[in-house]
């Protein structure tokens, strides 16, 4: 790239820097044209204007831990983790927090907890996930079953649109003072498309949805903010986020429920949801088997599935009553129920939930864990059907899988474990992708509950929503990014096959060996806070 943008931050086009940003947490390896680390929001504006004048694609990125391919691409990767300014400012009296887009939820937790506050959705990646990243995917976590995904807790974002316009979008119910979101919307974005009433009635009936632009949420709220949340950097580059926070409950308990089949899962989940439990997780037999072999120090029960429950309360007596009620609900459908009435005891029961990821990361090079069907979300009553269908598809394609997820939301994560030394493994992986995509649609679900469509699932949008809604998606994109420079190929498909340019196999792009080893170590250790430029510079 002959001319660098006139910014104060870092702009690199050398081979090693580009290689260090060729991968994220997902399945892809795509070497970008360049890497940019803006010094501040003004740098972001200059960069977007420069890119628009030249038709250069920009790929916004935080920690790089998103799995659906929205953090890699052929353009300029824009790493927002090095921008200047205070990472987190909390105002306890208003229960609000302001964050730089590149600051992490871990930093927010450390500051907010001093005032007894927290961001309730609690994504499992909170140690390293950035504010801009979790907003861009509408991230969620185990506690989203009670508190909702991050959308419910975003008060405002500041961002730079594809035309280098700096805007602040905030909730219209946020109180007086300053320009409202609607005024900003009218001044900078023009006419945003609306969702026909019939389409709103036919929108997928799932508890979580991070698949495409949130036209249904926008129709209900009237806030352009809802279109930006979950937009994966395709509508603007987020530079700051303002959160609504909540008080941290003082008492917490855990329950472990063992099931010998999925027959009773749906009614069990519905009754537990009625109790307003704070987390409701599912561990399938495939998950338990992996932990049993890979981590013998973790006691694994003999069960077809395990349901883990967390209950939060404001007093010890309230907590005890809630646990006793949940245990009574669970016992008739379970082959075993264990309860822990303290936070430490709950952590011990939940220990198995966190045991599989390190095991999967340590798999040998020829048996990589690939997230190709990893975020399907179906109606809660169809979770058992979904798990059974994924298992059948895995058996038919000879691709082992590990299943777990959020039982209370119908959101099931799947790690596919192909043997990349076997002939035809990529074709069989493609068949697994296609078969599970069909199942999600048959069950009335969406292909992403919390990780985003990315480039992995973009080609499935029209099968779920239909051509008319996808055209509305294109109109949304046109309003925010008429030049089409922000994350092209993400959400709106480019036509490239979903399993192209994988990070594994004979066709993977070549990287300097030490950089490749460093990227693999990040994947194995969940070291997403690692500076990629430091990796590039050895």
Give the pLDDT confidence of 415-444 residue by residue, as tens digits.
999 999 999 999 999 999 999 999 999 999
What is the pLDDT at residue 193? 85
Taking every pair of C-alpha atoms in the chain, what is the biggest distance, in angstroms? 70
- DSSP character string of 125-154: TTTT-BHHHHHHHT---TTHHHH--GGGGE
Q: Please give, one letter per residue, the 3-state secondary structure of 408-463.
A: HHCEEEEEECCECCCCCHHHHHHHHHHHHHHHHHHCCCECCCCCCCCCCCHHHHHH
Give the pLDDT confidence of 140-158 residue by residue, as tens digits.
989 999 999 999 999 999 9
Average pLDDT score over residue span 304-327: 96
What is the pLDDT at residue 197? 79
Is 187 or 339 the better-scoring residue by pLDDT? Answer: 339
What is the pLDDT at residue 134? 95
What is the pLDDT at residue 366? 80
Average pLDDT score over residue span 310-320: 95
Q: Which of 436, 469, 535, 456 is nearest to 497 (CA)?
A: 456
Rounded Cα distance, 41 and 83, in Å: 8
Rounded Cα distance, 147 and 220, in Å: 19
**Whether pLDDT at 185 is above 60:** no
Cα radius of gyration (the chain): 22
Task: Answer for the pair 36, 7: CB distance below 8 angstroms, yes or no.
Answer: yes
Residue 255 banded pLDDT, cuts 50, 70, 90: very high
Rounded Cα distance, 237 and 44, in Å: 8
Average pLDDT score over residue span 461-465: 96
What is the pLDDT at residue 372? 95
Residues β-bridged to residue 90? 97
Residue 337 banded pLDDT, cuts 50, 70, 90: very high
Report the SS3 class of residue 487.
coil
Q: How many residues does the chain have?
A: 538
**Whether pLDDT at 287 is above 50:** yes
Give the pLDDT confidence of 15-40 residue by residue, as tens digits.
999 999 999 999 999 999 999 999 99
DSSP category for residue 169 = E
Residue 386 banded pLDDT, cuts 50, 70, 90: very high
For the chain, what is the mean pLDDT? 92
Average pLDDT score over residue span 171-175: 66
Average pLDDT score over residue span 248-264: 95
DSSP category for residue 208 = -
**Whether pLDDT at 387 is above 50:** yes
Residue 1 banded pLDDT, cuts 50, 70, 90: low
Task: Answer for the pair 184, 239: CB distance below 8 angstroms, yes or no.
Answer: no
For residue 329, give both structure tokens: 């609900």
Determine what percent of the chain is predicted with pLDDT higher than 90: 81
Indicate the angle between helix axes 265-274 and 316-330, nearest 10 degrees. 160
For residue 31, give both structure tokens: 């070497």
Q: What structural domains and CATH numbers belong to the chain?
A: 10-82+501-526 (3.30.43.10), 88-247 (3.30.465.10), 251-358 (3.30.70.2190), 365-452 (3.30.70.2740)
What is the pLDDT at residue 190? 63
Task: Answer for the pair 426, 479: CB distance below 8 angstroms, yes or no.
Answer: no
What is the pLDDT at residue 178? 37
Q: Which of 481, 452, 472 is nearest to 159 (CA)?
A: 481
Task: Answer for the pair 24, 72: CB distance below 8 angstroms, yes or no.
Answer: yes
Average pLDDT score over residue span 449-457: 96
Residue 174 banded pLDDT, cuts 50, 70, 90: very low
**Minimum mean pLDDT range among 187-201, 450-464, 494-508, 511-525:** 187-201
Q: Which of 308, 298, 296 is nearest to 255 (CA)?
A: 308
Average pLDDT score over residue span 470-483: 95
Rounded Cα distance, 14 and 231, in Å: 30
Task: Answer for the pair 73, 487: CB distance below 8 angstroms, yes or no.
Answer: yes
Determine what percent of the chain is predicted with pLDDT higher than 70: 96
**Whether pLDDT at 129 is above 60:** yes
For residue 368, give both structure tokens: 């990589």
Give the pLDDT confidence of 219-246 residue by residue, as tens digits.
999 999 999 999 999 999 999 999 999 9
């Amino acid at each position: 790239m002959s001319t660098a943008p006139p910014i104060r931050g870092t702009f690199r086009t050398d081979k090693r820097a580009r290689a260090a940003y060729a991968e994220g947490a997902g399945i892809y390896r795509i070497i970008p044209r360049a890497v940019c680390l803006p010094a501040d929001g003004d740098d972001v504006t200059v960069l977007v204007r420069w890119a628009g004048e030249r038709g250069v694609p920009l790929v916004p990125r935080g920690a790089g831990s998103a799995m659906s391919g929205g953090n890699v691409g052929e353009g300029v990767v824009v790493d927002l983790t090095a921008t200047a300014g205070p990472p987190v400012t909390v105002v306890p009296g208003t229960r609000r927090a302001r964050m730089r887009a590149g600051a992490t939820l871990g930093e927010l937790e450390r500051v907010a907890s001093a005032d007894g506050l927290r961001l309730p959705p609690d994504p499992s990646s909170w140690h390293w996930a950035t504010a801009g990243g979790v907003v861009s995917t509408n991230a969620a976590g185990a506690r989203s079953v009670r508190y909702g995904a991050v959308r419910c807790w975003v008060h405002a974002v500041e961002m730079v649109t594809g035309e280098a316009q700096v805007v602040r979008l905030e909730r219209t119910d946020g109180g007086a003072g300053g320009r409202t979101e609607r005024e900003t919307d009218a001044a900078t974005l023009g006419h945003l498309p609306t969702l026909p009433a019939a389409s709103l009635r036919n929108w997928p009936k799932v508890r979580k949805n991070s698949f495409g632009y949130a036209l249904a949420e926008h129709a209900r709220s009237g806030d352009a903010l809802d279109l930006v949340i979950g937009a994966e950097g395709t509508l603007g580059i987020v530079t700051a986020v303002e959160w609504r926070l909540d008080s941290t409950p003082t008492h917490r308990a855990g329950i472990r429920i063992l099931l010998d089949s999925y027959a009773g899962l749906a009614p069990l989940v519905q009754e537990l949801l009625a109790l307003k439990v704070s987390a409701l997780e599912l561990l399938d037999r495939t998950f338990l088997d992996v932990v049993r072999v890979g981590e013998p120090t973790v006691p694994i029960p003999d069960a077809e599935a395990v349901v883990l429950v967390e209950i939060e309360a404001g007093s010890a007596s309230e907590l005890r009553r809630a646990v006793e009620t949940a245990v009574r609900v669970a016992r008739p459908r379970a082959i075993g129920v264990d309860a822990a009435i303290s936070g430490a005891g709950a952590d011990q029961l939940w220990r198995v939930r966190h045991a599989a990821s390190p095991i999967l990361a340590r798999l040998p090079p020829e048996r990589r864990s690939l997230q190709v069907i990893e975020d399907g979300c179906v109606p809660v009553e169809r979770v058992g059907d979904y798990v059974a269908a994924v298992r059948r598809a895995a058996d038919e394609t000879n691709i082992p899988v590990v299943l777990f997820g959020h039982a209370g939301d119908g959101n099931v994560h799947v790690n596919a474990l192909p043997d990349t030394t076997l002939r035809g493994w990529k074709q069989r992986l493609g068949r697994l992708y296609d078969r599970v995509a069909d199942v999600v649609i048959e069950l009335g679900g969406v292909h992403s509950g919390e990780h985003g469509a990315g480039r992995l699932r973009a080609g499935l949008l029209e099968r779920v929503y239909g051509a008319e809604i996808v055209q509305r998606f294109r109109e949304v994109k046109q309003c925010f990014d008429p030049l089409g420079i922000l994350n092209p190929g993400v959400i709106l498909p480019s036509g490239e096959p979903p399993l192209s340019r994988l990070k594994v196999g004979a066709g993977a792009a070549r990287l300097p060996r030490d950089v490749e080893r460093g990227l693999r170590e990040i994947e194995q250790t969940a070291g997403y806070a690692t500076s990629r430029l430091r990796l590039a510079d050895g």
